[in-house]
Structure 1
Amino acid sequence: MTTRTMNVRIPEALYGQIEELARATARTKSFLAIEALKGYVESESWQVRDIRAGIAEADAGDFASPEEVAATFAKHGA
């Protein structure tokens, strides 16, 4: 796997927590940072996918009819 370097400034307290966790788990700070970033990116990426899909639908003219919108609002009590 090819890697790249990224420098990040973090609060001192967070750095201390990462050091403590690294010692407790016998992992490197880099490993913990990579795992944390992977988790964040995975959990947030759905938003980008959904936005892009919505834009593609709008560009294709795929909109809900006024009746479909009213039925959805009625279904959810709005």
Structure 2
Amino acid sequence: MTVPVPTSIRLDPETLKQVDAIAAAEGRSRHWILVQAVKDALDARAAYAAAVQKGLDEANAGQFATDEEVAAMFAKYGA
């Protein structure tokens, strides 16, 4: 089992109030909410970085959307 390493964080009062409200609503501790928030943020950043890298790899390999594919996307979702 990994032993947690103590750290500290400084939050403005409004953010801390939001953390405490979520903790109370979910029946969790402030600590648990903050740990989950950090984990969620790290997961999101890792997913974003992987998607960007995938796009760069595809671009470097010359894999681009055709003019027709781009036009179809604009037609479907608008500009």
Q: TM-score, normalised by structure 2?
A: 0.59
* Runs of at least 5 residues in structure 1 that lack an aligned partner in the other structure: none
The answer to whether structure 1 residue 53 and structure 2 residue 54 are counterparts is yes
Work out the percentage of aligned pairs sharing the same amino acid.
31
* Runs of at least 5 residues in structure 2 that lack an aligned partner in the other structure: none
Comparing both chains, which one has the higher relative contact order based on Cα–Cα distances under 8 Å and sequence gaps of 6 or more?
A: 2
Aligned residues: 77
Higher Cα radius of gyration: 1
- Counterpart of 2:64 in structure 1 is 63
The one-letter amino acid of 1:38's match is: K
Displacement, 1:28? Answer: 3.6
> Structure 2 CA distance, aligned partners of 1:43 and 1:10?
21
> Structure 1 CA distance, aligned partners of 2:14 and 2:72?
51
Sort the Cα spacing of 1:5 and 1:58 in 2 relative to 1 into closer, same or farther, 3 A. Answer: farther
Q: TM-score, normalised by structure 1?
A: 0.60
Sort the Cα spacing of 1:64 and 1:7 in 2 relative to 1 into closer, same or farther, 3 A. Answer: same
